[in-house]
Chain A
């Protein structure tokens, strides 16, 4: 049973350059800002950064772990990318139930770097097959 204030089990991921390269291969996103040290050195953040969708995947994993098939069947995400994640970072996906209305559960979600900085913030909604 979900109720406002309940916290979702966190998902912790180390972000390495190897993981970023693997994600580029898997997704087909070869933007050099993720992969090329020389290019990234001259770009906004001065070094390579992780793909936003790689980091955001940890939120979906957290929601899948908490809500299972309901997440895959009815999940809705609204995310804003607030800060870059760098190779060598460890990120933590976090979530808290903000509202339960009938079968709908609304969660505040995000991903935080080990520095305490929020890399992603947003909202996730899911409709439960059985009302809580």
Chain B
């Protein structure tokens, strides 16, 4: 992996298999609460003051953050597809490590499609989520 942060990324040079992010973060109650409030997930709310359950998609969304930061995804990029597999409940307070690699880099009809494969592990090394995000880059970044 080379450090992509703060570099102007030439997306055409991203190679399939290239690691673009490897970050750890703690899934604290405030982060989860903000996510649950934003998406309005009624199944995650356990009471007015109780700590919410962690929605599986929160792990995907927050896990993707590192890759988006490191790649400096350009303004106007669009989300074209999302695959995800959840391998077990994640609890508030979990320490997660998210590894993102390039899974696709191709041009179709003058648009560049970049795929990012994400693997999220908890502190025990158990893989709790895997997924692939497909982005369409704006024309000027293609």
Contacts and interface: CB of A to CB of B under 8 A. Distances in A.
Interface in A22-62: 22-23, 25-29, 31-33, 39, 43-44, 51-54, 56-58, 60-61
B108 to A, nearest CB: 14
A27 B55 CA distance: 13
A76 B86 contact: yes
A51 B79 contact: yes
B51 to A, nearest CB: 15
A64 interface: yes
Interface in B15-30: none
A76 B34 CA distance: 24
A129 to B, nearest CB: 12
Contacts of B37: 22, 26
A57 B84 CA distance: 12
Interface string A4-19: 0000000001000001
Contacts of B85: 75-77
Interface residues of B, number: 40
B40 A72 contact: no
Contact of A58 (B39, B56, B65): B39
A72 B138 CA distance: 34
A101 interface: no
Interface in B52-97: 53, 55-57, 60-62, 64-65, 68-69, 73, 75-90
A94 interface: no
A29 B68 contact: yes
A31 B65 contact: no
A30 to B, nearest CB: 9
B86 A73 contact: yes
Given A27-B61, A44-B78, A56-B82, 13 more contacts: A23-B38, A31-B75, A32-B76, A44-B76, A53-B79, A56-B57, A57-B55, A57-B57, A71-B56, A72-B86, A72-B88, A75-B84, A81-B79
Interface of A: 13, 19, 22-23, 25-29, 31-33, 39, 43-44, 51-54, 56-58, 60-61, 64-65, 69, 71-81
21 contacts: A19-B38, A22-B37, A25-B34, A27-B35, A27-B62, A27-B64, A31-B75, A52-B78, A53-B64, A54-B38, A56-B57, A57-B55, A61-B43, A64-B41, A65-B42, A65-B43, A72-B56, A75-B84, A76-B85, A77-B84, A81-B79
